[in-house]
């Protein structure tokens, strides 16, 4: 068990980002100083100034070397967009990335290993919007993922190129990279919009001196090296992705989120606890399933940027990498052991045991020798068991493939027959239509025959050439009919071959024969229809005679096929005889094998006799099972020739195996002659062997019964051949009936010649009429072109006027909007000034009240001082009068100001109402203009679709009306615009008046404020 190796690589920063970066790196840990919880430790952390070679040598180099030794390996780069993943994996011309370094290192390791021979294959795919595309074969798109016991998880239809040098690999990778989806975002000019997986498949086997035999008997190591460049996670708010880019980003984020979920589940140990890990939620995780908690050495290179703007993305990338640290894999050497490799290993073990037996014969006791001998026999039996299982598995696989291929061939045959049947029906319909048309023409010709009998001979002499043309057309129709008939005959031949080759699908073949009988009935109906066509064609007699010759040739072909079937039946009989001979030879071999076993049992000791007996019983049980399997296989093999040959080969291999086994047992018997045993146990074992021999004889009898059943099937096939002969005789009878019908058609041909001459005369008259019509059509077309030119010019003028009005409308609306904005600003400013004036008046009023209070106080003080002097009293009276006059003046000014403000407000409201009415009128005019324009567009379409002069005149009148309406609306629009300008001018005059009034009020308020200040001074002086 080994965990995933995780390293972190930081992208270089600018000087400003380096100063403000919130992340700190210390040795192999990265953290935020202000957050104690945000601290991560990894296997390696590479700073901004590191090289890609250092990243490669940290772990990827060891994974590549292990891949050459037979271990699976996966390396992939993870991180946000614009963090340097593609640069890490692919590199640049000056600094190669992980993929080029791995390719060169792999080939160097292979060149150094001279003890093994290698075969390298490469593939390159991308996952774009959850679709798998082959970058080495761009036409292979939307590939599917499959899984089986042999290949595991693989992509069906993916091209694998055999490579022999690093340069070839890199050239193929450049070719695939040119077809990868790359786009531009706000964060990256060349942003990867898909995940890519670069895969190297490494096969190797041991070299031997005997090149011819040794290579075929050694185990083959097969390992897979995946180098993955993931697309970066991104946020639409930062990348500015829209449309296609937004869709690509959503698919990328979805697959990366699934990858994060899988890593989280694996780090929590969900899979070990029997839980569900969602590998199938994304095609990326489905393909990388063996690398995530499976049989592979895996390394993750997490690319980050320490810029403060991307702190959240860096945090999520580091959390993903820290979870991946807790995922463990169990990598082992991937060997494919063939049956030859297993036999070779077992033979080596047997030879080692025999050598030990020979060397230790003089030094060890008899019991140790017997133990060694028992282990030797067990290893041989295990070897035989493995060989039998492998052979049976191969045969079962071959049978499955053969059944699937035969089913596919039958489906193709059925589809082909249905297609040909459809074509035949279409041709039949065409011929029926032609017959119907010919009958109508003949009826018309017969009606006109009475009035034109005198001109028949003359026209017949003049139009003989046209008759020749008609006869050639008839010959073409006849040839098409012959081709159709030949296609039907080919269908029948294909069906006969299908009946011979696919006898196991008898129900489907029976249905198909019914279908063919229906097609033959349709064929007969087509022939009858064709006979009606022959009633008015003279040259058809020769074509029917040719058809008769073809049918005779087909009958001869059928007879030759019947002879071939008879020969094949004879071959099957000979093969059955050979099988019976082989069974007898196998029986004799088994008897000899039993005798050898009896001799072996006689020589065995009492201690090992029971064990040998059990092993021999197991061996005979296996032989029984094998005989049952051969019985079932023989039943299947007798159905077609290929299965029979395969069973024959398996029987020969079985004979060879039995001979080799008997030879080995004879050697063991020669070595074990010195040992003695008990005769009673020997007799018991001999009886059990005889019983098993009787069972084998019963099995052989059953095999003979199966052979007899197969002979009955051959007899049934012969009966089918006789039915085919009967069908050929029926075809001969049909040919004779066709010839009789042709003789009847000759009598009607002469009448049709007269009809043809009349039709030729009609054609001449119709040709003159056609010329006159063509001249009229040309004149109409010229008039139509002139009208189209006029219409085009008028449409261009209308388009220009439309553009001018649209520009004027835009300018007016913009000016009105600007003026409305200015009016709103002015109204706000005036309202602020009015509120300020009110506040100032209120403050003046309060000051007047305070002055009045002070005056009252001074009067009270004067009364308490007993009327000090007359001058003071007079002064106080004067000040009081002045104060009252100031109050009156302020009240009057306030009333005047209020009245001015009210008038300005009413005038402003009127101006706003006038602008609203003008705006509504302008909207109405624009809507009316839009309706007129839409009406003009409709008229354009109607004008284009019309082809008559009256429609053109009506359109011109309608255009003139629309022009008048447009001019009227233009005049109204001008009047509205003039009224709008007047209203704007009036509002400007009112604004100026309002500003002047407000300025006067301010001046009055300032003068009153000065008077109040003077009064305050006088009061203060008088109080003193």
Neighbours of 821 (CB within 10 A): 10
Contact 369, 672 (CB under 8 A): no
The three state secondary structure string of 312-354 is HHHHHHHHHHHHHCCCEECCCCCEECCHHHHHHHHHHHHHHHH
Report the phi/psi class of residue 183: left, alpha or beta, with left for phi > 0 and alpha for psi in -120 to 50. Answer: beta
* The two three-digit tokens of residue 54, written as one number: 């250092």
Residue 122 β-bridge partners: 161, 200
Residue entry with tokens 């064709």: 530
Structure token digits, residue 406? 């035969």
**Which residue in the block uniquely carries the two structure tokens 């606890």?**
273
Distance CA 712, CA 706 (A): 10
CA dist 906 and 271 (Å) reads: 82
CB 551 within 8 A of CB 732: yes
Query: How far is residue 767 from each of residues 381, 467, 764, 774, measured CA to CA in Å?
Result: 97, 18, 5, 10
**Residue from 50, 60, 67 nearest 4 by CA:** 60
Residue 45 burial (10 A CB sphere; 0-12, 13-18, 19+) = buried
R_g of the chain, CA atoms, integer Å: 54
**3-class secondary structure, 234:** coil
Give 66-112 as a 3 state SS string: HHHHCCCEEEEEEEECCCCHHHHHHECCCCECHHHHHHHHHHHHHHH
Q: How far is residue 151's CA from residue 146's CA, in Å, rounded to a whole number?
A: 9
Residues in CB range of 143: below 8 A, 6 or more apart: 125, 132, 133, 134, 155, 156, 157, 158
> Which two tokens mark 130?
């959850």
Residue pair 297/71 in contact by the 8 Å Cβ criterion: yes
CA distance 420 to 151: 40
Torsion angle (degrees, nearest 10) of CA 902, 907, 908, 910: 130
Q: Give the CA-trace dihedral at 608, 612, 615, 620, to 10 degrees.
A: -170
Three-state DSSP class for residue 961: helix
What's the rounded Cα separation, in Å, for the pair 461 and 570?
66
Q: In angstroms, rounded to a whole number, what is the distance separating the alpha carbons of residues 751 and 967?
A: 75
DSSP H or E segment with residue 254: helix 244-267
Binding residues: 79-86
Closest CA to 75 of 52, 92, 56: 56
Write phi, then psi, for 923 (nearest 5 degrees). -65, -40
d(CA 741, CA 545): 12
Q: Are the C-beta atoms of residues 537 and 472 closer than 8 Å to each other?
A: no
Cβ atoms of 28 and 41 within 8 Å: the answer is yes
Q: Tokens standing for 326? A: 């807790």
SS3 35: strand
Annotated binding-site ranges for ATP = 79-86
CA atoms of 78 and 230, how far apart (whole Å):
6
Phi, psi of 203 (to 5 degrees): -115, 135
Q: What angle, 0 to 180 degrees and rounded to 10, lies between the N-to-C axes of helices 61-69 and 98-112?
A: 40
Answer whether 390's CB lies under 8 Å from 342's CB.
yes
Query: Residue 884 CA to chain centroid, in angstroms?
Result: 97
């Amino acid at each position: 068990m080994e965990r995933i190796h995780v390293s972190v690589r930081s992208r270089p920063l600018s000087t400003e980002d380096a100063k403000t970066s919130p992340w700190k790196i210390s040795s192999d840990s990265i953290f935020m100083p202000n957050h104690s919880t945000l601290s991560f430790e990894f296997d390696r952390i590479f700073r901004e100034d590191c090289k890609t070679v250092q990243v490669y040598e940290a772990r990827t180099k060891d994974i590549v070397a292990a891949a050459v030794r037979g271990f699976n390996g996966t390396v992939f780069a993870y991180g946000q967009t614009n963090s340097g993943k593609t640069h890490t994996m692919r590199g640049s011309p000056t600094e190669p990335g992980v993929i080029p370094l791995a390719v060169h290192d792999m080939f160097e390791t292979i060149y150094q290993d001279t003890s093994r021979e290698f075969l390298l294959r490469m593939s390159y795919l991308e996952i774009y919007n959850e679709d798998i595309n082959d970058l080495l074969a761009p036409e292979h798109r939307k590939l599917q993922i499959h899984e089986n016991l042999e290949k595991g998880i693989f992509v069906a239809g993916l091209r694998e190129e055999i490579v022999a040098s690093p340069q070839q690999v890199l050239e193929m990778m450049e070719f695939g990279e040119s077809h990868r989806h790359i786009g531009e975002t706000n964060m990256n000019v060349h942003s990867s919009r898909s995940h890519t997986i670069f895969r190297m498949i490494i096969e190797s086997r041991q070299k031997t001196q005997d090149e011819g035999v040794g290579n075929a008997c050694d185990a083959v190591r097969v390992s897979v090296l995946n180098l993955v460049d993931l697309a970066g996670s991104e946020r639409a708010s930062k990348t500015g992705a829209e449309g296609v880019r937004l869709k690509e980003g959503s698919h990328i984020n979805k697959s990366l989120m699934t990858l994060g979920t899988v890593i989280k589940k694996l780090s929590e140990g969900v899979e070990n606890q029997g839980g569900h890990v969602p590998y199938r939620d994304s095609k990326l995780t489905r393909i990388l399933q063996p690398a995530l908690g499976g049989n592979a050495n895996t390394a993750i290179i997490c690319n980050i940027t320490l810029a403060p703007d991307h702190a959240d993305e860096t945090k999520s990338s580091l959390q993903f990498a820290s979870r991946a640290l807790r995922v463990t894999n169990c990598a082992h050497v991937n060997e494919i052991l063939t049956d030859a490799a297993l036999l070779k290993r077992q033979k080596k073990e047997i030879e080692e045991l025999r050598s030990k037996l020979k060397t230790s014969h003089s030094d060890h006791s008899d019991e140790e020798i017997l133990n060694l001998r028992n282990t030797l026999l067990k290893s041989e039996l295990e070897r035989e068991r493995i060989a039998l299982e492998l052979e049976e598995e191969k045969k079962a696989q071959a049978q499955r493939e053969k059944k699937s291929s035969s089913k596919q061939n039958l489906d193709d045959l059925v589809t082909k027959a249905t297609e040909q049947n459809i074509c035949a029906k279409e041709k039949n319909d065409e011929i029926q239509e032609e017959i119907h048309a010919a009958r109508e023409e003949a009826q018309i010709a017969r009606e006109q025959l009475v009035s034109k009998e005198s001109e028949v001979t003359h026209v017949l002499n003049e139009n003989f050439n046209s008759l020749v043309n008609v006869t050639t057309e008839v010959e073409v129709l006849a040839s098409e009919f012959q081709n159709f008939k030949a296609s039907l005959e080919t269908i029948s031949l294909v069906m006969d071959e299908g009946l011979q080759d696919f006898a196991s699908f008898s129900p489907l073949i029976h249905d198909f024969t019914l279908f063919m009988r229906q097609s033959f009935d349709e064929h007969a109906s087509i022939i009858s229809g064709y006979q009606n066509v022959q009633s008015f064609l003279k040259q058809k007699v020769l074509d029917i005679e040719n058809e008769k010759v073809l049918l005779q040739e087909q009958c001869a072909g059928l007879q030759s096929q019947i002879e071939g079937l008879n020969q094949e039946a004879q071959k099957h009989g000979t093969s059955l005889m050979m099988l019976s001979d082989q069974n007898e030879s196998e029986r004799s071999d088994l008897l000899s094998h039993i005798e050898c076993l009896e001799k072996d049992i006689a020589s065995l000791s009492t201690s090992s006799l029971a064990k040998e007996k059990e092993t021999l019983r197991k061996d005979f049980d296996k032989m029984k099972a094998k005989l049952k399997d051969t019985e079932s296989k023989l039943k299947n093999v007798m159905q077609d020739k290929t299965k029979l040959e395969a069973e024959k080969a398996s029987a020969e291999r079985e004979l060879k195996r039995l001979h080799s086994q008997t030879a080995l047992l004879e050697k063991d018997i020669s070595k074990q002659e010195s040992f003695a045993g008990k005769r009673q146990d020997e007799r018991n074992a001999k009886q059990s062997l005889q019983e098993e021999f009787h069972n084998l004889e019963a099995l052989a009898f059953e095999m003979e019964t199966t052979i007899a059943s197969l002979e009955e099937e051959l007899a049934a096939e012969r009966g089918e051949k006789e039915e085919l002969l009967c069908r050929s005789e029926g075809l001969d009878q049909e040919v004779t009936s066709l010839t009789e019908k042709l003789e009847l058609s000759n009598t009607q041909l002469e009448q049709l010649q007269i009809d043809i001459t009349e039709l030729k005369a009609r054609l001449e008259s119709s040709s003159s009429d056609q010329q006159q019509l063509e001249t009229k059509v040309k004149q109409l077309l010229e008039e139509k072109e002139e009208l189209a030119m006029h219409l085009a010019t008028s449409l261009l003028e209308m388009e220009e006027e439309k553009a001018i009005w649209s520009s004027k409308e835009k300018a007016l609306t913009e000016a009105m909007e600007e003026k409305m904005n200015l009016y709103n600003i002015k109204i706000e400013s005036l309202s602020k000034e009015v509120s300020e004036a009110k506040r100032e008046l209120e403050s003046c009023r309060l000051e007047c009240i305070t002055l009045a209070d002070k005056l009252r106080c001074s009067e009270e003080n004067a009364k308490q001082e007993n009327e000090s002097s007359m001058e003071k009293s007079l002064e106080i009276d004067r000040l009081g009068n002045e104060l009252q006059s100031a109050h009156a003046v302020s009240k009057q000014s306030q009333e005047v100001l209020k009245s001015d403000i009210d008038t300005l407000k009413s005038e402003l409201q009127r101006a706003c109402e006038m602008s609203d009415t003008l705006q509504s009128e302008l909207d109405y005019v624009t809507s009316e203009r839009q309706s007129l324009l839409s009406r003009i567009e409709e008229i354009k379409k109607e004008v284009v679709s019309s082809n008559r002069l009256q429609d053109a005149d009506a359109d011109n009148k309608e255009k003139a009306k629309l022009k008048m309406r447009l001019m009227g609306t233009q005049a109204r629009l001008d009047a509205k615009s003039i009224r709008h300008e007047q209203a704007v001018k009036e509002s400007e005059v009112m604004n100026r008046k309002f500003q002047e009034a407000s300025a006067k009020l301010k001046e009055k308020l300032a003068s009153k404020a000065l008077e109040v200040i003077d009064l305050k001074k006088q009061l203060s002086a008088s109080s003193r």
